[in-house]
Amino acid sequence: MRISQLSETTGVPIPTIKYYLREGLLPPGEQVSATRSVYGAAHVRRLRLIRALLEVGKLPISAIRAVIEAVEDETKGVHEMLGTAHYALSPKTEPEDTDEWAAARAMVDELIRERGWRVEPAAPGRDELAQTIVTLRRLGQEVTLPDLRPYAAAVGGLVRDHEMSRIPFDGPRETAVEAHVIGTVLYGRVLDVVRRLAEESESARLLADADGLAE
């Protein structure tokens, strides 16, 4: 398959494919002569993955590159590889050096502890969650451990019973990370959209009738 066909198959313009090649997101095709390379099914897959992470996941190119580098680093064990890819999916957050931040972070650690979760002490998600709590508080919303528990409970079961089962740990390592990344990003989106639908519905239930009568 030549670059023009790769472009047609995936709908990604040729200049953009060249850009991804330059950026190292897409491995070069098999160079068959100075001005001709051949691309295969793996390239189509990879290109679709890139677009999904970009468009649905809104990940920056640099994060996508990090994910891809994790996949291609053969020296890593499967768990380490998943971890690297996973961390690349987290937005960077700088811890603030304030008391309110420390308090929020302590609450996060306590939540993880009481659920018995195995999460690295340095996991970026800890700081990210702490930061979100601080932001909520600054906006006047109190957040306590009991507020967080239902979220952890709801999501814990979901991940255990439905997300992990989709990952083919027995297949080639590349397939496993890919499925993991897809699961994290795309099902993250699913969860988010479904939640917004549920909110609309609850809001309608609580308010639409009242509005209709009151106005």
Residues numbered 7 to 26 that lie near DNA (CB under 7 A) are 13-16, 18-19, 21-22
101 binds a second copy (CB under 8 A): no
CB 101 within 8 A of CB 136: no
Amino acid in position 102 = A
Q: In sequence order, what are the beta bridge partners of 30?
A: 38
Residue 210 falls in which region: left (phi positive, over 0), alpha (psi -120 to 50) or beta: alpha
Output the furthest CA–CA distance in the chain (Å, rounded).
75
For residues 61 to 100, the per-residue mask of contacts with a second copy, x marking binding by CB under 8 A and - elsewhere, is: ----------------xxxx-xx--x--xx----------
Could you give the 3-state DSSP secondary structure of residue 22?
helix
Determine which helix (DSSP H) or strand (DSSP E) holds 112, and give its type and residue range: helix 99-115
Shortest CB 13 distance to DNA, Å: 4
The site partner of 208 among a second copy, DNA, none (C-beta below 5 to 8 Å per kind) is a second copy
Q: How many residues does the chain have?
A: 215
Shortest CB 190 distance to DNA, Å: 22
Window contacting DNA (CB under 7 A); options: 54-62, 111-119, 129-137, 155-163 = 54-62
Interacting residues toward DNA by CB under 7 A = 2-5, 13-16, 18-19, 21-22, 28-29, 31-37, 54, 59-62
